[in-house]
Amino acid sequence: MDLVRECVPAATRRAGNPAKRTFQALRIEVNGELEALEVAVPAAIDVLEVDGRIVVESYHSLEDRIVKRELARGATSSAPPGLPVEPETHRPYLELLTRGAEEAGSAEIESNARSQSVRLRAARRTRPTPDHLRRRAARETS
């Protein structure tokens, strides 16, 4: 751990042991955690029925960025700007249920220190998409 402390520039050191973040980064990379999340979140959204909800807890900013991006993609129109009428197939298919990311309250943090870094995001499926319907039909026939 002393080697890690010596290699981390003083300006970027935070309180605590810098080896903690270094080993976290190594674990994330070795386990392919971000790649798994990039596959899992769209797959989870894909299997949501209309009015179904998805709730995701992220424990660091890299995870939260992936979740935020996928939920925002579904909550944003894909129609080109300036169209006089938005086609149904381009309307958002998700409604965000949280404004930004929800954080643990002070009581939760006091009883569970690990909850300090958690960010929660939630969305509801508002309509099916053509891809969603096609994959659903394929699942039902197999």
Locate the domains of the chain by residue range: 2-10+17-78+91-141
pTM of the predicted model as reported, rounded to 2 decimal places: 0.79
Section 41-52 average pLDDT: 92
pLDDT, residue 39, reads: 95
- In the chain, the N- to C-terminal Cα span, in Å, equals 53
Among 3, 81, 19, 72, smallest CA distance to 41 is for: 72
CA atoms within 13 A on the CB side of 119: 15
Section 89-106 average pLDDT: 92
Q: Do 79 and 131 touch, CB atoms closer than 8 A?
A: no
Q: What is the pLDDT of residues 26-38, one digit of tens each?
A: 888 899 989 999 9
Say yes or no to pLDDT of 69 above 80: yes
Q: Please state the length of the chain.
A: 142
Angle made by CA atoms 124, 34, 21, in degrees to the nearest 5: 120
CATH T-level fold of 2-10+17-78+91-141 = Rossmann fold (3.40.50)
